[in-house]
Structure formats: structure tokens, C-alpha cells
Structure 1
Amino acid sequence: MSPLARRVYDACHLTGSFRLRSGQVSTEYFDKYLFEGQPALLRDVAEAMVGLLPECDVLAGMEMGGIPVATVMSQLTGLPTVFVRKQAKEYGTQKAAEGGPVEGRRVVVIEDVVTTGGALLASCRLLRDAGARVETVVCAIDREQGGRANLEAEGLQLRAALTRTELEA
């Protein structure tokens, strides 16, 4: 296990009794927000993700977990960042991506954890509908539960700083 994987695992792996989204109860839980709430660890994860970026014009942080990661990556790279909602708001500007223009720009989507990629795919479609050129998603953790294949089916490459396999090693 890499030192970064060990630090993320130690910060986020919890034991107890947890009800999962599926309704099942588990004695283990991985709370991804725990690494995002620790400034030094968040910065180290973001630095690892910066190394995975292709040439691009804009970073797009996914609501909600991708936003802190994208913000730190923006600080490290000087790239502008937009913040992507799961769906466009129905009032005000009615935008799905807030913070700046994406039309005609090479946008890399930033996410904290990718599982199946369902919500991520919907947001990538919203960005593409707004004229963004989206080809790559960079995430902190790939849970290796089908997200990579689902993204590839939509013409998106997934680049992960860490994988579930690495975290559990």
C-alpha cells in the first residue's frame, strides 16, 4: 500500500453498524468526506490527481465531493474551476455548471469517488450539452464497481489517483 493510500484508508475507514444506500447494513464504512476535511491530506490527494491531468482549460468539480478537490487542484495549477450540479437549478441562471464558461473549452471533470459513474455520466452530458469538450474524468478513488467501463462506454477516460484495491491492500 502506498503511503497516500494508507493515510486515506486510516482517515476514512470506519467500523460499527452502518446502513448503506442499498438498505443493507454493513460493519464497515468508507467515509470519503473524512479525507476532504483534513487540509494536509486533501492537498496531498489533490497533488496526486494533478499529476493525472491531461492538457485542459477548465476543471469541473462535481457536486458535492468533487468541489473541494477541484478547488485545491485549481489552486495548485492555476486552472479555472466550475462547480457542476447534479441537475441545472430551476431558478436564477438555471445553469448546471457555475463559476465560468465551459463552451468550446477542454474540461476535465473532477470527482472524489467513482462507483458506478451514474450521476457522473449525467453531469458530463450536461457539460457537453453546454458546449464543453469533456473526454477525461480524474478521481481520487475508483471503487472498481463498474464506473470505468460505464464511463468508457460514453467516450470518457477515467484516471484515478487511488483504487479500492490499493486502499484495501
Structure 2
Amino acid sequence: MTMAAAARRALAADIDAAARLTGTFVLRSGATASEYFDKYRFEADPRLLSRVAAAMIRLVPAEVEVLAGVELGGVPIATAMSLASGLPAAFVRKQAKTYGTRLAVEGGDLTGKQVAIIEDVISTGGAVRDAKARLDEAGAITVAVVCAVWRGPLPARIEGLEVPVLSALTLEDLNG
């Protein structure tokens, strides 16, 4: 069940107002841009985070047993979704810790569990592909990817990943 059109427009406008910054920004590529989307601005706002989590919960397939948040941006969203839905959360690191448990996936045994990967913003899906590989190694069964914002071309899909990608919002929604 997706959001009503008015609620979707309102959420997109509020996220855009919180996260779209203007100024001079150096991008990861080294290029300079006059506009930057700071996703942590909506993740750090409890009211916006709650609304994003509610929108994303509606997209989670019924068979999902665990919400697997991708480090770093997917972790607060998976936690908020877990609190709101009662589904347990797990956290997928970019790399295994070099100390303690030395795990790449935290939050308990996922062997045979059906999981949804939770991510904040996806453009190409590289981090999600990496997270799925770690979940596979942990014995989880990934059945879907659920993200707050899909920034790539539509329909949303990640090359090399044969699970559905479900997004609460798209770049087009944010550009209104």
C-alpha cells in the first residue's frame, strides 16, 4: 500500500526543504557543485524520520522477518521502522569489524531469515549490492530493497540484483 498522493507530495517537499542545500560543495568525485542533497538532515529530524519510516513500512513485503539497515544512512531508518512495526532490525557494515565479534552483519543470527535491505538514498545501488553479499554470507534471504529516495532512472532496479527495489520517493518527487 503506497502513500496517498497528497501525503507523498508533502513528505517530498519537507524532505527537499530540509536536505537540499545551496552554496559551494566539493563532491565525492572532486567536482564542485552549487547544490547538495544532505540526506542526514532528514534522518536526524525525528518528525521527518518518523514520516519516512511510516512511508517505507507500507512497502515492506509481508514475508519479511528482519529489516537490514545499510551503514550508515540505512541504520537510523531501519531502527525507526523496527520501532514502528515491531519487526527486528539488523545492521550491515561496509566491512566486518576487526575486533570483538568481527561481524559484518550485526543484530543476531539471520540464517534462513527473509530480510528487506533498508537504505536511505540510492543512485546506482553499489552499497546495496555489497550489503546483499554480506547478508548472503550471513545466511539471510534478501527478498526486497526498500529505500527512502530512489535517485536513479525509473523503473527502480539495481543491476546485478534480482530483488525488487521499492522506494517511498523518487528524485522526481523531490524536484516536484
Q: TM tier, shorter chain?
A: over 0.9
The normalised TM-score by structure 1 is 0.94
Cα deviations across residues 13-56 of structure 1 (Å, max 9, x unaligned)? Answer: 11000011111100001100000111011000100000000021
1:11 alignment partner in structure 2: 18
Question: Of 45, 50, 57, which aligns to 1:38?
Answer: 45
Which stretches of structure 1, 4 residues or longer, exceed 3 Å deviation after superposition?
145-149
1:20-59 equivalences under 5 Å are 20-55=27-62, 56-59=64-67
Question: Of 107, 111, 114, which aligns to 2:119?
Answer: 111
Question: Of 82, 87, 102, which aligns to 1:94?
Answer: 102
Provide the C-alpha distance between the structure 1 equivalents of 2:81 and 2:53, rounded to a whole number of angstroms.
6
1:164 alignment partner in structure 2: 171
CA contact (8 A) 1:15 1:27 kept: yes
| Aligned-pair CA distance for 1:145 | 5.2
SS of residue in 2 equivalent to 1:111: strand
Question: Of 56, 65, 78, which aligns to 1:70?
Answer: 78
CA contact (8 A) 1:116 1:145 kept: no
Cα deviations across residues 120-165 of structure 1 (Å, max 9, x unaligned)? Answer: 10111110121100020100000115894334x3212110000001
1:85 alignment partner in structure 2: 93
SS of residue in 1 equivalent to 2:103: coil
The normalised TM-score by structure 2 is 0.91
Provide the C-alpha distance between the structure 2 equivalents of 1:122 and 1:148, rounded to a whole number of angstroms.
17
1:134-149 equivalences under 5 Å are 134-144=142-152, 148-149=156-157
SS of residue in 2 equivalent to 1:116: coil
CA contact (8 A) 1:115 1:147 kept: no
1:132 alignment partner in structure 2: 140
Provide the C-alpha distance between the structure 2 equivalents of 1:19 and 1:146, rounded to a whole number of angstroms.
27
Give unpaired runs (5+ residues) of structure 2.
1-7
How big is the alpha-carbon RMSD for the aligned residues of Structure 1 and Structure 2? 1.5
Cα–Cα, structure 1 residues 82 and 96, in superposed 2: closer, same or farther, change >3 Å? same
CA contact (8 A) 2:119 2:147 kept: yes
| Aligned-pair CA distance for 1:90 | 2.3
CA contact (8 A) 1:87 1:123 kept: no
